[in-house]
Structure 1
Amino acid sequence: MSTEAVVLVGGQGMRLRPLTLSAPKPMLPTAGVPFLSHLLSRIREAGIRHVVLGTSYKAEVFAEYFGDGSAFDLELEYVVEKEPLDTAGAIRNVSDRLRADDVLVFNGDILSGLDLRELLRTHREAEADVTLHLVRVDDPRQFGCVPTDADGRVTAFLEKTDNPPVDQINAGCYVFRRPVIDDIPAGRPVSVERETFPGLLASGARVQGHVDDSYWLDIGTPAAFVRGSADVAQGRLRSAALPAPAGEAVLLDEVKVAADAAVRGGSTIGARGDIGSGARIVGSTLFDDVRVEAGAVVEHSVIGAGAVVGEGAVVRGAIIGDGVTVGAGCELLDGVRVWPGVELPPGGVRFSAD
C-alpha cells in the first residue's frame, strides 16, 4: 500500500516568543538546522517521498528554505491555511494534494524517535481506520489520556484529570486511511481529539493505539526547545539531518572559539559565532552571528541571531531575541525573555522572571 505524509506547521509558536517573531517554530535552528529538517529526515528514512506541509504563519519561509524538496530527496508541496482550522480541519484542508492509501500525519513541533515503519505495520496489521502514536509519561495529569484495550484498540479520549486512569497520551503522530480524511468536514475548524476521534469511536471504526517508549518531546516551550536541541546535538535522539558528528558541541561555519573557552552539554554555535576568552556555553543554542565576550556564561538558553553577550555577563535559563545586546556584567536568569533589538546597559543589572 502506498504511503505519504502531512506535516502541520501552521502554528504561531506564541509560547516561544520572541524567537518566533522572525521565524515559525518548525524553522527555528535546532542542533544547527531548522527543526523541521529532523522530522523530514525521519520521513525520508521511512521510505516516504511525498510530503505535504500545511502552513499558515510566515508560510513563505518554508518554501524559501526547502523548495520543491528535491535537494532533500523528497517531493514537497505546500498548502496555506488562510484561517485557523484546528488539527483535523488542517488535515482536511490539504486533502486535494493527497494520493496514497495511508497518510502519516505529524504535528510539526514534536521531536520523536518513533520507528515509523513499525507504526505503519501496527496500522495495517490491525486494519485500522486511524492509528495513533501513544507515549507513556511520568505525569499524565497535564495531558488528556488515551486508554486502550488488550488488543491495542483505543477505547476513549479523556480530558485532563487529577486521577488519570492510564499514563498513555496522544503523541501527535497518526496514520489515517484516506477515506477518513475525506469524511472530515471541510471549511471549518475541526479538532481531532474532541470531534474526529470520538466520532470514529462512536461509529464503530477501528482506532488503534501504537504505544512505544522511544524518545519524545514537545518543543513548544523555551525550556523544552533548549533541551531538545541539546539532546539532538549529543545524539540522545539520532538525526540524519545533524550537520556535524554528535557530541558536546555542534559548531557551524566560521565559528571562532577561544582556546580557553568551554562549549559543552550539546550546545550549538551558529555560523560566524564568536566565543571569547574564558567564556562558558553549556546546553545552549546560539543562532548565527552571536558574539559572547570574555568571561561570559550562557547556560540552558537560546541566544538570537546577531546578539551580543557582554563581558562577564551571565545568561541562565533565558531567551534572548535577535540583535539584543546584553551589557557587561548583567545577569539574566530563570525564564527571562528579552525582545529583539533591546540593549541592556552594563553594570551588573540582574533580571529574573521571578
Structure 2
Amino acid sequence: MKALILAGGTGSRMRPITHTAAKQLVPVANKPILFYAIEALVAAGITELGVVVGDTEREIRAAVGDGSRFGARVTYIAQDRPRGLAHAVLVSRDFLADDDFVMYLGDNILVSGITDVVARFRRERPAAGILLTKVADPRQFGVVELSPDGQVVRLTEKPEHPRSDLALVGVYLFSPAVHEAVRSVPVSARGELEITDAVQWLVDHGHTVRPTVVTGYWKDTGNVADTLEVNRTILETLAPEVLGSVDSSSELVGRVRVERGASVVRSRIVGPAVIGANTVVADSYIGPSTSVADDCRITGSELEFSIVLNRSVIDGVGRIEASLIGRDARVRRAGKVPRAHRLVLGDHSNVQIAS
C-alpha cells in the first residue's frame, strides 16, 4: 500500500505567513504540520510516499528530504497549480500504479492516527474508504449523506444548503478503481476536479465505498484560528522535560518542555508550552497553549495561546495572545511619544490593537 500526501496549494487563508512559507510547514507544538501526516502513515505501516508539490516544492523538499528520517521513501510529484484533489490523483498515476493507497491532505491533523482504518481497509478492500466527522458548519467542507443503514448515498462539495452535518476528513483510502473515476468526472463549477465527484462516481457505478465516522480529534489547519487550536491540542499531549537551563528565579508550572540550548531567566512558564532550542525567555510570562520555536528571544513580555516561529524577537510589548508570529519577526515597544503604533504589514495581515 502506498500513500499520496498533498502538499501543494497556496495557503491563502494563512496569509501573510504563507507568502514566504508552505502552509504544510507551519509548526504546531514546534513540529511542521506535514510531519504529523508522514508519521501517521509510517505508523500505519505505509512507507512508500508520494508527495504532491506546487510552488513551494523547494521548501517541502528541504524539510522532508528523501523520507529516510521518518523511515520512509519519498517520491515528489509536481502539480503545476491546484486543480483539485482528483487531479492530484490523476497526475500521480505513474507513482501509484495499481496499488491501493491512502490520500492524506498535508495540512490536516488526525490525533488518533489512521492505523485502525488502514487495517480495516486492507481486510475488507472496498473500492474506497472515507473518513467523516460531524461539524457545526458543513458548508465549508465536502458533505456526505448516508442512508439509514449507513451506506454512502451522496457527496457534495461545499454545499450552500447541506443535507447532512457529516464532513469529509482529509484522509481517503482507495483501490485502483479510483483511477477510472478521476478520468471520468468533469471539471466542477469551481474549475477543479473534485474528489467528491470521483467518490460519487464510484457509488453511482456500484462500487463499495466504506464510511468511517471519526470520533477523535481532527482539524484542517487551513486558517490561523484552527492552527492555534491544533497547537493547543497537541501541546496537551506534551511530555514535560527540561533540556536547557532554568534559573532559580524562574518557575515552570505543568507540562513545559524547554529544549536543548534554551534559557529561561527570571520568568514564569505555565504549560502546556514548549520553548525551542537556543531560545531565550527573560523577565517574561509564557502562558498555556504557547509554542516558541528555535532561536527566539522573548524579553519583558507576556505571551499566551500563541505560536512564535523561528528567530523572532518579542521585547517589552506587554501582553500578546491568540497570535501567530512568523519567522524573523520583530515586535518591540515604541520608545517615543506621542504614543502611537508604527506598523509594517504584509498583504492580508490582521492586526487588533487595544486603544
Q: TM-score, normalised by structure 2?
A: 0.81
Tell whether the 8 Å contact from 2:181 to 2:202 is kept in structure 1 after alignment: no
- Once the two structures are aligned, what percentage of the paired residues are identical? 24
Match in the other structure for 1:262: 268
Tell whether the 8 Å contact from 2:40 to 2:115 is kept in structure 1 after alignment: no
* Matched residue type, 1:255: A
Q: Give me the whole-angstrom Cα distance separating, in 1, the residues matched to 2:328 and 2:146.
A: 49
Match in the other structure for 2:295: 289
Q: How far off is 1:160 after superposition?
A: 5.0
Q: How far off is 1:303 after superposition?
A: 2.3
Match in the other structure for 1:344: none
Task: Give the SS at the match of 2:164.
Answer: coil
Q: Give me the whole-angstrom Cα distance separating, in 2, the residues matched to 1:158 and 1:98.
A: 26
Q: TM-score, normalised by structure 1?
A: 0.82
Q: How far off is 1:161 after superposition?
A: 6.0
Q: Give me the whole-angstrom Cα distance separating, in 2, the residues matched to 1:168 and 1:288.
A: 39
Q: Give me the whole-angstrom Cα distance separating, in 2, the residues matched to 1:72 and 1:120.
A: 19
* Matched residue type, 1:72: F
Structure 1 residue 305 and structure 2 residue 310: aligned? yes
Structure 1 residue 206 and structure 2 residue 211: aligned? no
Structure 1 residue 191 and structure 2 residue 189: aligned? no
Task: Give the SS at the match of 1:205.
Answer: coil
User: Which of the residues 29, 34, 47 maps onto 1:49?
Assistant: 47
Tell whether the 8 Å contact from 2:108 to 2:170 is kept in structure 1 after alignment: yes
1:106–1:248 distance in 2 versus 1, CA, 3 Å: same
* Matched residue type, 2:282: G
Q: How far off is 1:320 after superposition?
A: 2.4
Q: How far off is 1:142 after superposition?
A: 4.4
1 or 2, which has the higher strand percentage? 2
Equivalent runs, 1:30-49 vs 2, <5 Å: 30-49=28-47
Task: Give the SS at the match of 1:352.
Answer: coil
Equivalent runs, 1:230-269 vs 2, <5 Å: 230-235=232-237, 248-258=255-265, 260-269=266-275
Q: How far off is 1:51 after superposition?
A: 0.7
Structure 2 gaps of 5+ residues are 245-253, 336-342
1:353–1:110 distance in 2 versus 1, CA, 3 Å: farther
1:15–1:253 distance in 2 versus 1, CA, 3 Å: farther
Task: Give the SS at the match of 1:11.
Answer: coil
* Matched residue type, 1:198: Q
Match in the other structure for 1:133: 131
1:53–1:338 distance in 2 versus 1, CA, 3 Å: farther
Structure 1 residue 62 and structure 2 residue 68: aligned? no
1:167–1:83 distance in 2 versus 1, CA, 3 Å: closer
Tell whether the 8 Å contact from 1:157 to 1:198 is kept in structure 2 after alignment: yes
Deviation string 1:20-64 (CA, Å, 9 cap, x unpaired) is: 233211112221222211121111111111011011131012222
Match in the other structure for 2:174: 176
Equivalent runs, 1:318-333 vs 2, <5 Å: 318-328=323-333
Q: How far off is 1:328 after superposition?
A: 2.3
Task: Give the SS at the match of 2:145.
Answer: coil
User: Relative to structure 2, which stretch is displaced further, 178-187 or 62-71?
Assistant: 178-187
Task: Give the SS at the match of 2:183.
Answer: coil
1:54–1:43 distance in 2 versus 1, CA, 3 Å: same
Tell whether the 8 Å contact from 1:123 to 1:131 is kept in structure 2 after alignment: yes
Q: How far off is 1:151 after superposition?
A: 4.6
Q: How far off is 1:144 after superposition?
A: 4.2
Count of aligned positions: 327
Match in the other structure for 1:82: 80
User: Relative to structure 2, which stretch is displaced further, 164-173 or 123-132?
Assistant: 123-132
Match in the other structure for 1:352: 353
Match in the other structure for 2:219: 217
Deviation string 1:91-143 (CA, Å, 9 cap, x unpaired) is: 21112112453111011111103452332344355542111011123444544
Q: Give me the whole-angstrom Cα distance separating, in 2, the residues matched to 1:118 and 1:71.
A: 24
Aligned Cα root-mean-square deviation (Å): 3.1
1:115–1:226 distance in 2 versus 1, CA, 3 Å: closer
Q: Give me the whole-angstrom Cα distance separating, in 2, the residues matched to 1:325 and 1:71.
A: 32
Tell whether the 8 Å contact from 2:44 to 2:114 is kept in structure 1 after alignment: yes
Task: Give the SS at the match of 2:154.
Answer: coil
Q: Give me the whole-angstrom Cα distance separating, in 1, the residues matched to 2:194 and 2:159.
A: 19
Q: How far off is 1:180 after superposition?
A: 1.5
Structure 1 gaps of 5+ residues are 331-336, 341-349
Q: How far off is 1:19 after superposition?
A: 2.2
User: Relative to structure 2, which stretch is displaced further, 65-74 or 303-312?
Assistant: 303-312
Equivalent runs, 1:115-134 vs 2, <5 Å: 115-124=113-122, 127-134=125-132
Q: Give me the whole-angstrom Cα distance separating, in 1, the residues matched to 2:183 and 2:119.
A: 28
Match in the other structure for 2:248: none
Tell whether the 8 Å contact from 1:324 to 1:339 is kept in structure 2 after alignment: no
Task: Give the SS at the match of 2:234.
Answer: helix
Q: How far off is 1:166 after superposition?
A: 3.3
Q: How far off is 1:329 after superposition?
A: 7.2
Deviation string 1:160-191 (CA, Å, 9 cap, x unpaired) is: 56874433110011111123225423998411
